[in-house]
A and B are shown apart, each in its own frame.
Chain A
Amino acid sequence: MFINTETQYGVVSIVLHWLSFLLVAALFGVGLYMVDLTYYDPLYHELPQWHKLFGVVLAVLSLARILWRILSRSPTILAAAGWQVAAARSVHWALYLLLLLLPLTGYLISTAEGSDLSAFGWTLLPGLFELSPALADWAGSLHLWTAWGLIGLATVHALAAFKHHFVDRDSTLIRMVYIKGQ
Chain B
Amino acid sequence: MKRNVRSSLGLVVVGFALLTSGMAQAAETYKMDTEGSHAFIQFKIQHLGFSWLLGRFNTFDGEFVLDQKNIENSKVKVTIDVASVDSNHGERDKHLRGKDFFEVEKYPEATFVSTRVEKTGEKTAKITGDFTLKGVTKPVTLDAEYIGGGKDPWGGYRQGFEATTQLKLKDFGIDYNLGPASEVVDIYISVEGIRQ
Contact = CB atoms under 8 A, between A and B. Distances in A.
A111 B94 contact: no
B26 interface: no
Given A133-B84, A133-B97, A40 B179 contact: yes
A115 B86 CA distance: 13
Interface in B74-129: 83-86, 88-91, 93-94, 97-98, 104-105
Contacts, number: 44
A42 B176 CA distance: 17
A113 B179 contact: no
A109 B90 contact: yes
A109 B178 contact: no
Given A113-B88, A113-B89, A136 B178 contact: no
Interface string B150-176: 000000000000000000000000001
Question: What bracket does the count of chain A residues touching chain B fall in?
Answer: 10 to 19
B179 A136 contact: no
30 contacts: A38-B177, A39-B176, A39-B177, A39-B179, A40-B177, A48-B91, A109-B91, A110-B90, A110-B91, A111-B90, A112-B91, A112-B93, A112-B94, A113-B86, A113-B88, A113-B89, A113-B90, A113-B93, A114-B90, A115-B89, A133-B83, A133-B84, A133-B85, A133-B104, A134-B83, A136-B90, A136-B93, A136-B94, A137-B83, A137-B104
